[in-house]
């Protein structure tokens, strides 16, 4: 089963308001294993880069000025995505919205929403009430993200690919530790018992003095419930 895990970086949050796609990173997986095949591209948005967006991904107008426009690489991108391959993204509606906006400007049909797999929705089902950002999920599953100082489409797609495997019950990072613990427990339970002197059971019956003291105490209780 072929799947594409992808992420995008943009000039803002709303493609309908004029924001543009400036980076896309795609990772190919077959049967939940990365094949090593990727697609990565930066795009000149032909507009300014808001400071808030640049602070997130670090992509400046100067850096993007000599990069191709989206339409110049769209055929290559669509060939990589394929026609029916499932497309996995974190908060996938956002990424689909931007890619489809760019495709519309190229006069091309949109990516079908039936291909979309949203890992945010998956994480909310598996971890209700917990933080489900990409950073939070990496921490939860023990995925190293120390090299992620800023958002980057290809880097985030690589991290998401590992998260996706965990969300679908795949790698189970703690499996070896659990196995070692289980082996240790079995060894402890099956270890030969040491010779110990026999000790008879301790008596637990109340003595005559204790029973007399208890009866005297009951006589002091006024209107006891057990006499109703």
Active-site residues, by number, are 151
Query: Distance between CA atoms of 123 and 136, rounded to whole angstroms?
Result: 10
Kindly tell me the sign of the dihedral angle through the C-alpha atoms of 42, 48, 52, 54: positive
Query: Distance between CA atoms of 32 and 93, rounded to whole angstroms?
Result: 22
Q: Which of 113, 109, 76 lies closest to 94 in space, CA to CA?
A: 113
Q: Which of 39, 117, 119 lies closest to 82 in space, CA to CA?
A: 39
Question: How many Å separate Cα 201 from the centre of its chain?
Answer: 54
b/e map of 97-116 (b: 16 or more CB within 10 Å)?
Answer: bbbbbbbeeeeeeebeeebb
Query: Distance between CA atoms of 8 and 10, rounded to whole angstroms?
Result: 7
Residue 111 φ/ψ, nearest 5 degrees: -70, 135
């Amino acid at each position: 089963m072929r799947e594409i895990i992808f992420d995008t970086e943009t000039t803002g949050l709303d493609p309908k308001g004029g924001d543009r796609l400036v980076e896309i990173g795609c990772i190919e997986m077959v049967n939940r294993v990365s094949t090593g095949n990727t697609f990565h591209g930066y795009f000149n948005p032909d507009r300014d880069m808001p400071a808030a967006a640049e602070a997130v991904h670090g992509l400046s107008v100067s850096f993007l000025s000599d990069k191709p426009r989206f339409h110049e690489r769209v055929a290559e991108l669509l060939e990589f995505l394929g026609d029916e391959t499932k497309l996995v993204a974190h908060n996938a509606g956002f990424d689909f919205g931007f890619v489809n906006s760019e495709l519309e400007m190229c006069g091309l049909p949109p990516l079908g929403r039936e291909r979309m797999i949203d890992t945010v929705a998956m994480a909310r089902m598996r971890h209700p009430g917990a933080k489900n950002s990409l950073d939070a999920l990496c921490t939860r599953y023990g995925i190293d993200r120390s090299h992620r100082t800023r958002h980057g489409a290809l880097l985030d797609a690589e991290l998401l690919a590992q998260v996706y495997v965990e969300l679908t019950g795949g790698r189970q990072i703690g499996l070896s530790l659990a196995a070692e613990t289980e082996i240790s427990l079995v060894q402890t339970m099956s270890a030969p018992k040491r010779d110990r002197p026999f000790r008879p059971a301790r008596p637990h019956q109340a003595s005559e003095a204790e029973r007399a003291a208890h009866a005297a105490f009951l006589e002091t209780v006024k209107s006891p419930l057990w006499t109703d």
